[in-house]
Structure 1
């Protein structure tokens, strides 16, 4: 039995995986830099560059703070790069901005239909993001897939942060699955390393975020153009076995 044939649960990253990163988050990154810079445009540009984004092109480098960091880590990075605000104050402002940004996000596909089809096959489904839990739930509600989720974890949900294994282990606890029965799907190495450290059966990279085939190859079992290619990797008849109660 291959790893793919053993999969009964799928844990997705959100940004860059379910949502197109460039279309959804580059405008938000400009805004969070303006907030952190107190309106100083020159400082905002320096903050973006320090956290991994080219302020002219909007390109975000793989595995940088803006690509993979959680709210607190991004706030800490901007303070270290010269923001006059405190980390706690910035993190609170960023969390609010990120939750509001769900209304402007661009999905990579029809997420309601995508999750519905996987749910109908019996897969246990979850989302684990470095964003806050409120933002994940707002996104799931907006795109109509909240009812198909068995688990949601943000950096503030008490399962630790990526690339630690806690979010995957929390998914296993919530669904009754063992780690080797779980596929972790994400667009950066924080996601994939989280999966590997938890003993996930499959790590799947997608190219709708900030990573490239080169940057993601060493930590992924498969690298897909986007999540719509995922079902073809999995058994057509659904999960290998029903999850334990």
Structure 2
């Protein structure tokens, strides 16, 4: 296992990492399929299946479109699977849905306290999501950890999309750190591949989203049940 001794910053994914995926996104996925199907229930089920969610069980496949895609990719996938909607209006409608969903999200822990403890221990902190930037900021404000963030990036923030390295590199530019000083934390391989492509110091998987221990094993240095496992791994940098 790689050492955490040189880590000075943590870049978190949002969905499935800071908020529990099933509790937060199951209802949203069903709503986005209904929107894309224009009310046709049978079509909505087919769209969900095509994008990675079993409409009966609600299970979402690791690294599927719904698990890892950004809004524009999801909209394009829905259209490719049979949605009669046009791409731009559907993308805009889904972006609004995802921003509204921040108010219904279920956090995996007390995020205000968790981020506060990491900040007090000397770490730079950021969030990089395939969701839009507005929804990230809304979620951070709702759960009270916005004041601890040094960086926020969504798919529409100008840093590229996962698994490209741009969000990690943007975080480094904002904090004055090198990629090898950054730990990337996420629930699927898009997150871990982003970290690898950027040369991040650590890639850490969590099991509160769509990934499994097996699916994350090949690409992660560590895998925790949830983000609180980081606290035992990361040393105190407050007096470094």
Superposed CA deviations along residues 214-242 of structure 1, whole A, max 9, x for unmatched, are 1000000001000011111111x22695x
1:76-91 → structure 2 map (5 Å cutoff): 76-91=76-91
Q: Which residue of 1 aligns with 2:70?
A: 70
Do the aligned residues in 2 keep the contact of 1:9 with 1:183 (CA within 8 Å)? yes
Q: Which residue of 2 aligns with 1:194?
A: 194
Task: Say how many residue pairs are matched.
Answer: 239
Query: Shift in Å at residue 122 of structure 1?
Result: 1.2
- Is structure 2 residue 225 aligned with structure 1 residue 228? no
1:21-40 → structure 2 map (5 Å cutoff): 21-40=21-40
Cα distance in 2 between the residues matched to 1:89 and 1:189 = 29
Q: Which residue of 1 aligns with 2:137?
A: 137
Query: Shift in Å at residue 3 of structure 1?
Result: 3.4
Q: SS of the residue aligned with 2:29?
A: helix
Q: Which residue of 1 aligns with 2:151?
A: 151
Cα distance in 1 between the residues matched to 2:106 and 2:205 = 19
Q: Which residue of 2 aligns with 1:16?
A: 16
**Backbone CA RMSD of aligned residues:** 1.0
Do the aligned residues in 2 keep the contact of 1:162 with 1:190 (CA within 8 Å)? yes
Cα distance in 1 between the residues matched to 2:94 and 2:178 = 34
Cα distance in 2 between the residues matched to 1:238 and 1:54 = 44
Q: Which residue of 2 aligns with 1:207?
A: 207
Cα distance in 2 between the residues matched to 1:68 and 1:144 = 25
Cα distance in 2 between the residues matched to 1:213 and 1:150 = 29
Cα distance in 2 between the residues matched to 1:32 and 1:217 = 31
Q: Which residue of 1 aligns with 2:161?
A: 161
Cα distance in 1 between the residues matched to 2:41 and 2:103 = 25
Query: Shift in Å at residue 185 of structure 1?
Result: 0.1
Query: Shift in Å at residue 87 of structure 1?
Result: 1.2
Q: Which residue of 1 aligns with 2:5?
A: 5
Cα distance in 2 between the residues matched to 1:239 and 1:130 = 31
Q: Which residue of 2 aligns with 1:126?
A: 126
Ranges in structure 2 where 5+ consecutive residues have no aligned partner: none
TM-score (structure 1 length as normaliser): 0.96
